[in-house]
Amino acid sequence: MIDYITGTVTGLNPAFVVVECGGIGYNINISLNTYAAIDKAVTCKILIHESIREDAHLLFGFATEEERDLFRQLISVSGVGAGTARMMLSSVRPGDLREAITGGDVSTLKAVKGIGLKTAQRIIVDLKDKLGKHVGSGEIIAFSDNTAREEALSALVMLGFARISAIKVIDNLLKETRTLPVEELVRRALKLL
């Protein structure tokens, strides 16, 4: 199995990226979140989920471990295929999607194209406990290319703030300014929590 591919970005659009590695161009299906993370990158390291079927050998790429884990959880649900999981991750940020599932928010899931009431309910029933355990397990979920985010999240959790709340606040702050130092990120987050 392929775990990740590092190479030169030779083609990129919101649905896929072509990464050249060792003279081979890999066509990798991506979500809009991953597209945004690698947009304008000359080289990238992209985490891979490999899907081998009778009629196709497909690669799905992710900028973060969190997104890949969530994708794998989603496709484990009966009736949710790789295309639907990718659509969900393109429509809702991974952290918000995880929060919607653990919070039983059917309306957020139904807002995704191709997800009906029964599928949304099945996703919640199947994944609510699994994702809840993952979030509370003490593992810090972080973008692999953003150590400031990881350190700030760790500091806030050690200070006693809820992980989900801290992730949301930090991500919102980083949307505004991607290059905040850890100290400033924690200071601003403390004002918002």
Domain map (residue ranges) of the chain = 4-62, 65-135, 147-192
Residue with tokens 């949301």: 168
Contacts of 154 (CB under 8 A, 6+ apart): 140
Q: Which CATH superfamily is domain 147-192 in?
A: Ubiquitin-associated (UBA) domain (1.10.8.10)
- Res 150: pLDDT: 77
State how far the Cα of 171 lies from the Cα of 173, in Å rounded to an integer: 5
- Res 74: pLDDT: 95
- Res 146: pLDDT: 60
Q: Please state the φ and ψ torsions of residue 144, each to the nearest 5 degrees.
A: -65, -25
- Res 84: pLDDT: 93
Residue 120 structure tokens: 């949304």
What is the SS3 string spanning the chain?
Answer: CCCEEEEEEEEEECCEEEEEECCEEEEEEECHHHHHHHCCCCEEEEEEEEEECCCCEEEEEECCHHHHHHHHHHHCCCCCCHHHHHHHHHHCCHHHHHHHHHCCCHHHHHCCCCCCHHHHHHHHHHHHHHHHHHHCCCCCCCCCCCHHHHHHHHHHHHCCCCHHHHHHHHHHHHHHCCCCCHHHHHHHHHHHC
Residue with tokens 């139904």: 110
Q: Please state the φ and ψ torsions of residue 103, each to the nearest 5 degrees.
A: -90, 0
CATH architecture of 65-135: Orthogonal Bundle (1.10)
Residue with tokens 């659009």: 13
Q: pTM for this structure? A: 0.67
- Res 139: pLDDT: 35
- Res 132: pLDDT: 65
State how far the Cα of 156 lies from the Cα of 118, in Å rounded to an integer: 37
- Res 174: pLDDT: 82
CATH topology of domain 4-62: OB fold (Dihydrolipoamide Acetyltransferase, E2P) (2.40.50)
Among 39, 70, 50, CA closest to 4: 50
- Res 10: pLDDT: 95
Q: Which pLDDT tens digits describe the chain residue by residue (193 residues)?
A: 899 999 999 999 999 999 999 999 999 999 999 999 998 889 999 999 999 989 999 999 999 999 999 999 999 999 899 999 999 999 998 888 998 998 889 999 998 888 999 999 999 999 988 876 544 333 333 343 467 777 788 878 877 888 888 888 888 888 887 777 788 888 888 888 7
- Res 157: pLDDT: 80
Judge whether 65-135 and 147-192 match in fold. no
